[in-house]
Homo-oligomer: A and B are copies of this chain.
């Protein structure tokens, strides 16, 4: 196999979408530097999942970055006094309370700084606009605006070393297509963690948006989700 020399920074939460995105970046021949963020998230179990996923898929490096959680307020993912909505209508056009203020912007900014630091110009993010929860920072117009900004922000562009590209390989896929793609690439989805609201031993709830989108995706593929869900 050819040696991978072109570097990419890949945002990796440890969930199904970002695991698939990492596997796609690997399959495209990038030497992948995976970044995971610890920001006081309720489901911090995803940090461990991210480590296992990075190793299993073969990332060249995996880094966990701490973010001061006080900049991310009023979200059910960061404030334990706000409940994660269960059995919510997924067709609702309202942005759910699990939205974290400007989270992808903070994550992509770190990815950009790190990319410039290591001489990478390719950044992968597993945003998904089809089966998603209505987050504004998962839309392609947002990603395009970030990419434009990134190419004005950085010395590497002015020095003509390259041009930043934000890759969103799964943005138009359904959850079922994502799972099929990842399965084809050999991802072990038992290592991933999607639930916003796991129980004390880390079992997914099966009722939050993230669990339900995942379960719906597996159901549509005819494949079985290898995770064991908490009893309702």
Contacts and interface: CB of A to CB of B under 8 A. Distances in A.
Given A142-B149, A153-B136, A155-B99, A71 B110 contact: yes
A72 interface: yes
A106 B95 contact: no
Interface in A153-206: 153-159
Contact of A74 (B65, B95, B117): B117
A227 interface: no
Interface in A30-69: 63, 65-66, 68
A113 B109 CA distance: 12
Contacts of A228: none
B73 A159 contact: no
A11 to B, nearest CB: 13
**Identical subunits present:** 2
B153 A137 contact: yes
A154 B142 CA distance: 9
Contacts of A102: 109, 112-113, 116, 150, 153-154
A106 to B, nearest CB: 5
Contact of A105 (B73, B113, B137, B142): B113
Contacts of A101: 112-114, 116-117, 154-156
Interface string A69-103: 01111100000000000000000000100011111
B117 A113 contact: no
A150 B109 CA distance: 12
Contact of A158 (B100, B136, B149): B136
A28 interface: no
Interface of A: 63, 65-66, 68, 70-74, 95, 99-106, 108-110, 112-114, 116-118, 135-137, 139, 141-142, 145-146, 148-150, 152-159
Given A103-B113, A137-B154, 17 more contacts: A63-B70, A65-B71, A73-B117, A73-B118, A74-B117, A95-B158, A101-B154, A102-B112, A105-B109, A105-B153, A106-B112, A106-B113, A136-B155, A137-B153, A145-B149, A146-B153, A148-B148
